[in-house]
Amino acid sequence: MTAGENSVQSKKSLPDLAPLEAVLFDVDGTLCDSDPLHHQCFLEMLQEIGFNNGVPIDEEFFIKNIAGKHNDDIAAALFPDDIPRGLKFCEDKEAVFRRLASENLPPIKGLYKLTKWIEDRGLKRAAVTNAPKPNAELMIAKLGLKEFFDVVILGSDCEHAKPHPDPYLKALEVLKVSKDHAFVCEDSVSGIKAGVAAGMPVVGLTTRNPESQLMQANPTFLIKDYEDPKLWAALEELDKKGVSSKTAA
């Protein structure tokens, strides 16, 4: 697929997916507002070891080097001269994150309204994440979505994690659905790029990352949260188109 075809594909509107078969979700920042916890962990732990001469990492550094990325890439960005140390650091950081997340993990506003819409229509669903398995399992369980997802696809289980399309392509394969009848919900540049590269429309959430950066990844549209009227207008149109296509058949 050429870059031009990719761009056209990614701009397909949600109603064009009728009949819809599946919805694929990222986890961090997409199901729950977890980025502040990740940022806090990295901020405190990097300061403890005197990273960047003790200057605290800011939001811009976090978004550019950490948000939405796989730990292998984060380790390489933070500790380019000592990758094993970087991987160990990330492993320790995840343990701290899980402790904080088990105490407080707010769902994205309107999340359960959307999951009910999906359940009511009998659609297939997958969680597709670069998070380590223990993190993904903890967050999904804390949000009460363990039974909701048909499958959880980890970046580490694929040849390439996001921003490569592999995790989303694997989700489509496991669910046995077509990219022409599924869409993705994502909140990071890395994740949006992965969904677009897999050939699906991506609904981007402006949970923490700047709109201008997210738009560069070519989402179909951006929403503030799952109560955004823009999302529900598209889903209502999708419902109507799905019904009319069944009638025509």
Catalytic residue list contains 28:
yes
Q: Are 123 and 23 in contact (CB under 8 A)?
A: yes
pTM for the whole structure: 0.89
- Sign of the dihedral defined by the CA atoms of residues 157, 106, 93, 223, in that order: positive
Q: Are 46 and 209 in contact (CB under 8 A)?
A: no
User: Residue 244: what pLDDT?
Assistant: 55
User: Residue 157: what pLDDT?
Assistant: 94
Task: Say whether 204 sits in a helix, a strand or coil.
Answer: strand
- What secondary structure letter does DSSP report for 207? S
Q: Which of 16, 28, 82, 228 is catalytic?
A: 28
User: Residue 242: what pLDDT?
Assistant: 81
Q: How far is it, in rounded angstroms, from Cα 136 to Cα 153?
A: 10
Catalytic residue list contains 26:
yes
- Give pLDDT tens digits along the chain (249 positions): 444 444 444 468 999 999 999 999 999 999 999 999 999 999 999 999 999 899 999 999 998 999 889 999 999 999 999 999 999 999 999 999 999 999 989 999 999 999 999 999 999 999 999 999 999 999 999 999 999 999 999 999 999 999 999 999 999 999 999 999 999 999 999 999 999 999 999 999 999 889 999 999 999 999 999 999 999 999 999 999 986 555 444
User: Residue 12: what pLDDT?
Assistant: 80
Q: Which of 26, 33, 73, 228 is catalytic?
A: 26
Q: How far is it, in rounded angstroms, from Cα 100 to Cα 2?
A: 43
Query: Strand pairing partners for 202?
Result: 184
CB atoms within 10 A of CB 229: 9
